[in-house]
Amino acid sequence: MRARIGSLLQHQGALVMLLLVCLIGFARYEAFLTPENLLNILRQNSMLGLVALGMTFVILTGGIDLSVGALLAVAGVIAASLAGQGLIVALPAAVAAATILGLINGLVISKGRIQPFIVTLAMMIAARGLALAVTGEESVRITSSSDSFGWLGRGSIGFVPVPIVILLVAFAVGWLVLNHTRFGRNVLAVGDNDEAARLMGLNTDRVTILVYAISGALAGLAGVILASRLGTGQPVAGVGWELDAIAAVVIGGTLLTGGQGSALATLVGVLLLGVIFNLFNLEGQISPWWQLVLRGLILLFVVVVQNRLTKLR
């Protein structure tokens, strides 16, 4: 019984906490439970959500991707400079570039047998440098005649903003892939025990390469949306996002050592962080620095609880 409660808390702990935080918000702030505010939370977190989804794939294999923030900036800059030629050109080009950089991460990690931490740290530094060098540290202004490009970040389908639609579709696909395709199960298998997976005849290198490519692609997509929302491609965009994404994944309940977790857990993790941030803003009194302190404490708390629950089983 105790183990079952433990298991429930581990799998749904973030969800329980999300509901709790929402309840507090509802009780305390009138402005919280309004459609505008809720859509706002979702839209603000849609880009981090995409990055965190990619990070989920990577962490499920037992890896880590520190380069996502920098890849997001590279994609944003590319998309902004191609924005004049329309979304049809800018989006695929930017996402493809980020995917290729992610692919390089995966290739070096799997074929070179080098730790993901170091490889993606190197990519983070180099890609950020590339974005800064190419733009001369200047933001790339998106010029006129790019209405289709602006639609991506600022338009809406019905009353739902486009970024939210993209976020939800991406998570639905991510859930389907992880739970119902061979590739998804292979991702989990590699993180569970990669030696065993290899002995069972799995091409573990291929899995590794693909998850870093996916992570790069989703970071790229987030970068394009951000550029579209801001109207500029900023070479300094996404600084520190890799850490927020990791935090969201871990808070959602995915084990940092890999093998256990899900896309939905990450969505809950992202929303939990987003709602807490939203409540801080509604409160209006807490300085951003104290907000950071609180977020750090929350992350620590969740990880400690997770660790205890894992041992309990």
Partner 1 sequence: MNIEPLLRMEKIKKVFSGVVALDDVHFSLEQGEVHSLVGENGAGKSTLIKVLTGAYHRDGGEMFLEGSPVNFRTPEEAQHAGVVAVYQEVNLLMFRSVAENMFLGREPRRFGLIDWKRMYRDAGEVLRNLGLQIDPKATLGTLNIASRQMIAIARGVSLGAKVLVLDEPTSSLTEHEVVLLYDVIRRLKEQGTGIVYISHRFDELYAVCDKVTVLRDGKFIATRPLAGLERMDLICLMLGKKREDLEKKGSTAFGDHHESSSAKPLLEAEHLRRGRHLRDVSITAGRGEILGMAGLLGSGRTEVARAVFGADSIDEGKVSLEGKQLNLRSPHDAIRAGLAFLSEDRKAEGIVPDWSVRENMTLAALPALTRFGVVSRSAQNQIVERFMSRLGIKASSGEQKIRDLSGGNQQKVLLARWLCKNPKFLILDEPTRGIDVGAKSEIQALINELAEDGMGVLMISSELEELVEGSSRIVVMRDGECCAELTGKEISQDSIVKAMAAEEAGGVQSDSASAV
Q: How far is the CB of 312 from partner 1 (least distance, A)?
A: 13
Nearer to partner 1, 145 or 181 (CB): 181
User: E strand or H helix at 147, and its extent?
Assistant: helix 147-154
Q: How far is the CB of 116 from partner 1 (least distance, A)?
A: 20
Q: How far is the CB of 277 from partner 1 (least distance, A)?
A: 31
- The contact set with partner 1 (CB under 8 A) reads 176, 180-182, 185-186, 188-189, 192-193, 195-197, 199-202, 259-260
Q: How far apart are CA 49 and CA 57, in angstroms?
A: 13
User: What amino acid occupies position 210?
Assistant: L
- For residue 298, count CB atoms less than 10 angstroms from its CB and return exposed for 0-12, middle for 13-18, buried for 19 or more: middle
Nearer to partner 1, 36 or 195 (CB): 195
Nearer to partner 1, 47 or 189 (CB): 189
Structure tokens at 60: 């499920």
Q: How far apart are CA 242 and CA 239, in angstroms?
A: 8
Nearer to partner 1, 184 or 235 (CB): 184
Nearer to partner 1, 34 or 310 (CB): 310
Nearer to partner 1, 153 or 259 (CB): 259
Q: How far is the CB of 255 from partner 1 (least distance, A)?
A: 8
Nearer to partner 1, 135 or 186 (CB): 186
Q: How far apart are CA 277 and CA 178, in angstroms?
A: 29
Q: How far apart are CA 47 and CA 26, in angstroms?
A: 25
- Fill in the DSSP letter of residue 143: -
Q: How far is the CB of 290 from partner 1 (least distance, A)?
A: 38
Dump strand ranges (E) for 158-248: 160-161, 232-233
Q: How far is the CB of 202 from partner 1 (least distance, A)?
A: 5
Is residue 298 within 8 A of residue 10, CB to CB? The reply is no
Q: How far is the CB of 32 from partner 1 (least distance, A)?
A: 37
The Cα angle at residue 199 between residues 197 and 205, in degrees rounded to 5: 55
Is residue 222 within 8 A of residue 50, CB to CB? The reply is yes
